[in-house]
């Protein structure tokens, strides 16, 4: 998959695609169905997204909400057949672009789009003045056609959306999120140096920051892990570690049957089951006993 961060002076090979437009946060089952619908034999499939996410631009410093930061999103889009990813920088100048200019300069002159696929409620341009009717009316003069696609299901409860997935994760329901995503929700990052307290009680952990990601429900999870090209099962705590009076949130992953040094390595953690809320313990012995119980339960659930 080719990735472009601009729309001007693109090589000819990156133009003339069928272009699906949206945020594609999570690349959930609705997005996957849209991509399948847009993919046609003998044509390139392009996806147009905006980085940073427009919500991050208009509400800087707000609550983190992203299911998939850019790198994770790009990998998923490639997995589902995207040939060209246009990740356009969203800043004040781009936000001020009129709907007419977005169509003429970005979609027509820049991308040379031949067909455009959008969701039913797609709006664009300064003040969200552009809509599907405008796209369709300008299509003939710019050489592209337009189709819409409903993101699976009918009605607010049946429709698959990134919002519903975020709600499920914040409620400690990773299984529900996985049903809507079509895959387990995953986070990735580099293993960071921690307090190394886990290894003193027999449960060493790989510590991972969730910066850039939505924060799921605090608590303990059964997880699957990709590390060093291999797959493992594990148990993870996402929280503030109240037993040790910590305030910052951190993902601590105990990887079953792993004895290597993970510091500095890239790790991918998939949230499979929510085991329990985060708790404060009276001391290390109580904490150790509970981790042993959590580990046993996680092993059983993941083997099933």
What is the pLDDT, as a whole number, of residue 225? 97
Distances (CA, A) of 15 to 5, 18, 107, 163: 14, 9, 10, 32
Burial of 285 (0-12, 13-18, 19+ CB in 10 A): exposed
The model's pTM: 0.88
d(CA 38, CA 144): 14
Which tens digits make up the pLDDT trace of 240-278?
765 545 557 889 999 999 988 888 999 999 999 999 998
Domains present along the chain, CATH in parentheses = 2-149 (3.40.50.620), 175-303 (2.40.30.30)
d(CA 204, CA 259): 9
Which tens digits make up the pLDDT trace of 125-179?
999 999 999 999 999 999 999 999 876 554 445 578 899 999 999 999 999 999 9
What is the pLDDT, as a whole number, of residue 151? 61
User: Comparing C-alpha atoms, which of 50, 71, 52, 69 is closest to residue 61?
Assistant: 52
Of 199 and 226, the one with more pLDDT: 226
What is the pLDDT, as a whole number, of residue 156? 47
3-state SS assignment for residue 48: strand
Residue 280 has pLDDT above 90, yes or no: no
């Amino acid at each position: 998959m080719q990735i472009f961060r601009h729309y001007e002076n693109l090589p000819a090979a990156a133009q003339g695609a069928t272009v699906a437009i949206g945020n594609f946060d999570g690349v959930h089952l609705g997005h996957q169905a849209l991509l399948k619908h847009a993919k046609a034999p003998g044509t390139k499939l392009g996806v147009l997204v905006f980085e940073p996410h427009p919500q991050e631009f208009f509400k800087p410093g707000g609550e983190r909400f992203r299911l998939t930061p850019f790198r994770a999103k790009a990998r998923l889009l490639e997995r589902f057949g995207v040939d060209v990813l246009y990740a356009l920088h969203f800043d004040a100048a781009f936000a001020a672009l009129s709907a007419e200019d977005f169509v003429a300069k970005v979609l027509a002159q820049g991308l040379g789009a031949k067909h455009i696929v959008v969701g039913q409620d797609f709006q664009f341009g300064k003040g969200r003045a552009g809509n599907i009717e405008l796209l369709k009316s300008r299509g003939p003069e710019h050489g592209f056609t337009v189709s819409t696609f409903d993101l699976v299901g009918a009605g607010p409860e049946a429709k698959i959306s990134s919002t519903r997935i975020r709600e499920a994760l914040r409620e400690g329901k990773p299984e529900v999120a996985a049903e809507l995503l079509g895959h387990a929700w995953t986070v990735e990052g580099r293993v960071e140096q921690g307090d190394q307290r886990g290894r003193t009680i027999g449960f060493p952990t790989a510590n991972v920051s969730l910066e850039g990601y939505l924060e799921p429900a605090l608590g303990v999870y059964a997880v699957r892990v990709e590390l060093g090209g291999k797959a493992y099962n594990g148990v993870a705590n996402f929280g503030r570690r109240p037993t040790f009076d910590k305030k910052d949130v951190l993902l601590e992953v105990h990887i079953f049957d792993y004895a290597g040094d993970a510091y500095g390595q890239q790790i991918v953690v998939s949230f499979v089951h929510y085991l329990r809320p985060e708790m404060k313990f009276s001391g290390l012995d109580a904490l150790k006993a509970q981790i042993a119980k959590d580990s046993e339960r996680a092993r059983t659930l993941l083997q099933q």
